[in-house]
Amino acid sequence: MPSKKKKPIVFTLYPGVTPLDLVGPLTVLRDLGIGWPFRTVVVGERIEPMDTDTPLQMIPAKPFGEVSDPFAVIIPGGGRPRFTR
């Protein structure tokens, strides 16, 4: 019997990520609806605010180690964190 559990599509969050490069594809895939056999999850090294290449900070939903056997790993574009503290 096939598993009903949805396979994760992982988006990586890292210091310097471009928020639009993460949020755009994440939103499209997340909203595909009923019957879509995947779920999206944003992961990072730690669950803490990360500086992006804009004034916005983002927080991953899970650390890398908590999401096993992803269907796909998406690494959004980015650069150097602009507003480090």
- Is 9 in contact with 72 (CB distance < 8 Å)? yes
Model confidence at 3, pLDDT cuts 50, 70, 90, reads low
Q: What is the pTM of this model?
A: 0.84
Which sign does the torsion angle of CA 14, 20, 25, 27 carry? Answer: positive
| Mean pLDDT value across residues 62-84 | 89
Domains with residue ranges and CATH for the chain? 7-74 (3.40.50.880)
How does pLDDT run across 17-52, given as a tens digit for each residue?
999 999 999 988 887 877 889 999 999 999 999 999
